[in-house]
Amino acid sequence: MRKMVAGNWKMNGLQVSLKNIAELATAHDSARVDIMICPPATLLSKACEIARSLKIGAQDCHSAEHGAHTGDISANMIADCGAKAVILGHSERRANHNESDAIVRDKTSAAQSAGLTAVVCIGETLEQREAGETIAVLETQLKASIPDKVDPSRMVVAYEPVWAIGTGKIPTLEQITEAHQFCRRTLLKRFGSAANNVPLLYGGSVKASNAEEIFSLQNVDGALVGGASLAPVDFSPIIHALEATV
């Protein structure tokens, strides 16, 4: 499996920020890992034009192919821009837009039908971790956010503890290992050996200073990076840290 570093720009980035994508594309033209940038939808088309070997992804899509859904974009529209993937079920979408597992599952189906790779995010809140519910939460989310009819070769799972996103806090290495091992086993049980090729990304306060130890863990195949993906000076060392493992 190709390992992956994905950058989630969230609601950041104007036309002027495209130069960061161009800079990354030049600096990492022959990278040994997949590099993906997920800019806001307003930059998707132009980002795809300058991406070279970088992959460009969106941050959400609607589950319908088209129709009366003001403000939404469909998976087909994302593919039409030239993007290859879409992040689905990010905890900010789940919390701010009431996205249930069932909604994420339908979006995942729509994304794959449009030929996109679905990057499905799961992760527990602090309350759930403190209540000892982490594994149960991951089990439910994995089961209900991923449809039965999924193509594992166009599937990525990102484990992102909600309490680690944008906070500078990360779980212990043991906690990350436990979560990733659980995800791998669960996917293997459900989808068979093809699940060995589903990249499992860790997300939540990944930066240059902690990337190396996180990437050394078993079943951690890369990272989904928020804040540290905005500037190449922060993102490039994370890419190098993952490349050092392959």
Q: Which residues are catalytic?
A: 90, 160
Smallest separation (angstroms) from ligand PGA to the CB of 166: 4
Among 66, 166, 213, 216, binds ligand PGA (CB under 6 A): 166
Among 36, 157, 165, 198, which residue sits at the site for ligand PGA (rule: CB under 6 A)?
Answer: 165
Burial tier of 177 (Cβ tally within 10 Å: 0-12, 13-18, 19+)? middle
Neighbour-count burial of 27, counting CB atoms closer than 10 A to its CB (0-12 exposed, 13-18 middle, 19+ buried): middle
Roughly how many angstroms between the first and final C-alpha of the chain, as a whole number? 10
Kindly state whether residue 226 participates in binding ligand PGA, applying the rule CB under 6 A.
yes
For ligand PGA, how many residues bind (rule: CB under 6 A)? 13
Give the distance, in angstroms, between the CA of residue 31 and the centroid of all CA atoms in the same chain.
Answer: 18
**114 or 214: CB nearest ligand PGA:** 214
**Residue 122 phi, psi (nearest 5):** -135, 165
d(CA 55, CA 36): 4
Six token digits for residue 132: 């000892």
Q: Mask of contacts with ligand PGA, 40-79, x by CB under 6 A?
A: ----------------------------------------
**CA triple 51-74-96, angle to 5 deg:** 95
Q: Are 144 and 189 in contact (CB under 8 A)?
A: no
Closest-by-Cβ residue to ligand PGA is 226
Residue 216 Cβ, how far from ligand PGA at the closest point, in Å?
18
The tokens describing 30, both together, are 């022959």
User: Binding to ligand PGA by residue 83, rule CB under 6 A?
Assistant: no
Nearest CB to ligand PGA, comparing residues 58 and 76: 58
The residue within the footprint of ligand PGA, chosen from 58, 81, 225, 230 (CB under 6 A), is 225
Backbone angles phi, psi at 86, to 5 degrees: -150, 135
Q: Select 153 or 167, whichever has its Cβ closest to ligand PGA.
A: 167
Extract the tokens encoding 159. Answer: 């484990």
Binding to ligand PGA (CB under 6 A) within 196-215 occurs at 203-206
Residue 76 vs 203, nearer CB to ligand PGA? 203
Return the range that interacts with ligand PGA (CB under 6 A); candidates 77-85, 144-152, 219-227, 230-238. Answer: 219-227
Cβ-based neighbour number of residue 63 at 10 Å: 20
Q: Which residue has the tokens 């030049």?
A: 26
Per-residue contact string for residues 8-27; x = within reach of ligand PGA by CB under 6 A: x-------------------
Chain positions contacting ligand PGA, by CB under 6 A: 8, 160, 165-166, 203-206, 224-228
